[in-house]
Amino acid sequence: MMEGSLLDIGKTWIFINESLADGLLSWNTSGKSNARILQPLWDLRLGREEFLRSPLFPVVLSVAFYFSLCTPFMIVDLIGNKWTWIQSFKLQTNKEVTVSQIFDTLGLTFWNHVVYILPAAVSQWVWTPDTHLPELAPSLFEFMWHQIASLLVFDFQYYVWHWTHHRVRFLYKHIHAVHHRYHSPFCWVTQYLHPWELITVGFLTTTNTWFFNCHPLTIWSYMLVSIVVSVEAHIGFDLPFCLHNWFPFGVIGGAPKHDMHHLKPTTNFQPFFNHWDKLFSSYCPAMKAGGIKPKQLLDYEHKNKETKKFI
């Protein structure tokens, strides 16, 4: 009787452990565990596979997300000058965004999307095979490190591209100068770009995930994170919820750093992080909310003025 009870308890214990393992973990051939915390999110694809498999889906997702993200900041730019509390977070307090500037930047943005993005998307739809959608979600670790790695790779690529297009006068004059028309960035300046720069950025962002054979969920999330970081760098506000305020030691540059790049174009070439700028002495300390210059920036400007006296 006791042996039967012990056997039943043992079977129950095995069943419970197997159920938990099946629900939370999957094991690959190397014996490493892949946490499936993201499985409920990934299962939302069920019933929508035909749309999500289409090569057009990433394009629609990124374009729709970009315009949706920029629109609230555009509203703030146009009517926020009446809100004292929001102006306290503005970086260049002496600059206002006008309706004509909105039309100018949106005009070029729409032109680039119609003339370049749309044909590229149609070509991708015709020639690219449908996206494979695996049954399992990526592990949380894989989901995180693949995005971080892709961001780091892009950050280095664009640092080199950006530095080159500032140092080579022909490239700056005929390509990158378009983006620098505005010394005080606002949201729509993010993609206020020469077509060559837009195509380069799009190509690098798309192909970086290929290096790591990323899961579709990871790729889509990486695209959205890239847009968030890019738009944040151009909003012209140092808002408390922005990403650069979440991380210590100035890991991420954000809007304060990129505003300084538009004011001092030979500095701050990195789009997201700060390590290459600091390593190669192209880093300039940033202003703070309200246009306040911290001691680091004042010391930097004083040092550069003194240096120019001896050149």
Tokens 């780091």 -> residue: 152
C-alpha distances in Å from residue 287, one per residue of 77, 270, 301: 19, 17, 12
What is the pLDDT at residue 33? 43
Instruction: Tell me the residue ranges of DSSP E strands in 144-263.
Output: none
Question: What global pTM score does this model have?
Answer: 0.84
Residue-wise pLDDT for 278-304, tens only, equals 999 999 999 999 989 999 999 998 888
What is the pLDDT at residue 186? 95
Q: Which ranges of the chain have pLDDT less than 70?
A: 1-35, 306-311
Mean pLDDT for the chain overall = 86
Q: Count CB atoms within 10 A of the CB of residue 311.
A: 4
Report percent pLDDT > 90 for the chain.
Answer: 66
CB 218 within 8 Å of CB 147: yes
CB 38 within 8 Å of CB 217: yes
Closest CA to 190 of 57, 71, 98, 273: 71
Phi–psi pair at 90, nearest 5 degrees: -70, 145
Q: What angle do CA 235, 155, 68 make, to 5 degrees?
A: 35
**Exposed e or buried b per residue across 18-54, where buried means at least 16 C-beta atoms within 10 angstroms of its C-beta:** eeeeeeeeeeeeeeeebbbebeeebeeeeeeeeebbb
What is the pLDDT at residue 164? 96
Closest CA to 38 of 112, 134, 121: 134
Q: Kindly write down the DSSP assignment for every residue of 11-29, as one continuous string.
A: HHHHHHHHHHHHHHEEE-T
What is the pLDDT at residue 104? 96
Closest CA to 221 of 38, 68, 67, 48: 38
